[in-house]
Amino acid sequence: MKGLVRFGVAMEGALLEDLDRIVAARDSTRSEILRDLVRAEVDKEKAATSADAIAALTIVYDHHVRDLTEKLTRVQHELGGQVRSSMHVHLSEAYCLEVIVMHGHADELRRAANQILATRGVLRGGLEIITDVPHDHAHVHGHTHTHERSGGRRRA
């Protein structure tokens, strides 16, 4: 089926009132909220498979835990090209937040995330896996960027 298809949905009145509060708060429509919910459920199902996916793993950890920073770096290096980017933020003297963006098979990304989340010193974290995201394979896998250096010289 292509395009929009209309169908009826039956639900309890109290649940519909809750839905309408969400719709109003988001300045949206019932249809868009329901589409978002269905997309999220479809992503959950596909995240358990080997579907092509992107993922964002967010962790908070105590960088004073012995060898933790090195372990986290080693795991990311072992993942190789699956790690697309990471961002490191110092939260306090002892705690850091890191966001690791990955691309690959959903089940492999979940395994890698579980390995990181189970590492001693990682206090909490969460994983968001999104499937069916259009992306340019040529850009993701083989594109090199050029960067300006001082003096106007360029390098690849």
Report field, pTM of the whole predicted structure over 0.85: no
Measured between alpha carbons, how far is 136 from 103 in angstroms, rounded to an integer? Answer: 12
Question: Which pLDDT belongs to residue 40?
Answer: 85
Superfamily of domain 52-133: ACT-like. Chain A, domain 2 (3.30.70.1150)
The residues facing 125 across adjacent strands are 59
**Which of these, 147, 97, 99, lies nearest to 123 by C-alpha position?**
97
Q: What is the mean pLDDT of residues 61-78?
A: 92
Q: What is the mean pLDDT of the chain?
A: 85
pLDDT band at 150; cut points 50, 70, 90 = very low
Confidence of residue 136 (pLDDT cuts 50, 70, 90): low
- Give residue-wise pLDDT tens across range 86-128: 999 999 999 999 999 999 999 999 999 999 999 999 999 999 9
- Say whether 100 sits in a helix, a strand or coil: strand
- 71 versus 151: the higher-pLDDT residue is 71
Residue pLDDT, tens place only, 23-54: 999 999 999 999 999 988 887 888 778 889 99
Helix, coil or strand: residue 105: strand
Q: Are 127 and 57 in contact (CB under 8 A)?
A: yes
Sheet holding 95-105, edge to edge: 83-90, 95-105, 52-62, 122-131
Pairwise pLDDT comparison (131 vs 62), residue with the higher score: 62
**Tokens 């189970």 sit on residue:** 118
The length of the chain in residues reads 156
pLDDT at 137: 55
The two tokens of residue 29 are 């429509």
d(CA 50, CA 46) in angstroms, rounded, equals 8
Mean pLDDT over 61-80 rounds to 92
Q: Which of 1-5, 108-112, 141-145 has the highest mean pLDDT?
A: 108-112
